[in-house]
Each structure stands twice: as C-alpha cells, then as structure tokens.
Amino acid sequence: MPRSDLHPVQAKLLDLLIANSLEPLTIRELQQLLAASSTSVVVHHIGQLEKKGYLKRNPYNPRDYQVVEGGPEAEIAHINLYGAARCGPGGSILDGYPVDRVPIASRLLNFPSSEAFMMKAKGTSMVPRIQEGDLVIARKVSVPEDGKVYVCVNNEECLIKIVRLIDGKIFLESFNRDAFPVMAASSDFRVEGEVRHVMSGRI
C-alpha cells in the first residue's frame, strides 16, 4: 500500500486500524498508542486518512470503519447493476451477468466499492422508504443482523426486506406493513447484501 502522502502519525494510525479491525479501538486507546497530545489530534488524522482515501467510515458509528485495501480508490467506481429476476435453487443473483454498470463517486460510499452492487426495486412493499424503480446500493454480506434491510433470496425470489431474528428464527418484514404482513423465511433463504443507500428512480 503506497503511503508516500501520509504523515508518519497517519501511517502508524493506519497500521493500528488494520491490526484492530475486528475489535476497533476507541479514540482514547488510539491516542495512548500513538502518544498523541489529545484525542482531537487522533480525530484530525483519522479525518485525513479518510480524505486521502485510505479509510471509509460509517457516519453514524465512528467505530465502524473500513481500511481501503491497496490504497485510495479511483474517484469514480462502476457498480454492477443486477436485475431483480427470480433465482433458481442454490443460485445467487450475483452469479449472473449485470444488466449495467453504474458510475458512482467512490466518496459517496462508506465501504469499499469492490463490495458494492446495485438492484432496482420492484413493487410497493418497502414504501415509503424505497419506491418502485429506486436503485438500491448494497454491500455484499452473507450473515444478517436483526433489524437491517437486505437484498435477499426467499422462495427463489429476489426481495428487499427488513430481516428480523427472533428466537432463532428468521422473519421478513416490509415497511409497508399494512399491505404486506410479516412472513417466515423459507428454507432457501439467504442474504446477498445489506442495503446501504437508496437512489430515487423518479425524475
């Protein structure tokens, strides 16, 4: 990973973030390990790593970050857009050919663009948050967490749903609860990606 543009403190900070990615350190812990004069110094250097493209952070959780492997990404990432066709048993929507590649500014993603894919929403089960025709950007994951929105496969059909984990069972919930009741996940249920962004399909 080329680091010629990094301050020595930033290079050391990056190594610490990589080494502790599974159990992120607090700002105070980073301050102590860096022997920095204050936590604001650490926050400044984290901001510089993000600005220079070495780091992507979740704006809603400062301890949720991703180090960009291989150094800064290109300014524009081309994200695969897949159709919402039905999927065969054991198959993945990501196994097929994308119907398009959509250019997105890499800085708009708070995770590596190599882990992103796009789907076009169909139906009205997720209104008002997701409208028919909207483009959703998802991050590839395979293990769901309770209460998050996912692109998933259920009964061989590609869906966008809220996943609920209750007493060891999986349930799929819609934002439009009045018209679409909660349903139990089928035996072929699997997660393809967590929905992270929604782009309006309306002109």
Q: Any idea which residues carry the catalytic annotation?
A: 125, 161
Q: Is 177 buried (19+), middle (13-18) or exposed (0-12) by CB count in 10 A?
A: exposed
Q: Give phi and psi for 196, each to the nearest 5.
A: -115, -25
Q: Select from 44, 49, 52 the least CA-distant residue to 17.
A: 49
Q: What's at 88, amino acid-wise?
A: G
- 60: Cβ contacts below 8 Å, ≥ 6 apart: none
Identify the bridge partners of residue 105 per DSSP, sorted by sequence position.
Answer: 76
How many CB atoms neighbour CB 133 within 10 A?
12
Query: CB–CB of 96/133 below 8 Å?
Result: no
Helix (H, G, I), strand (E, B) or coil at 23: coil
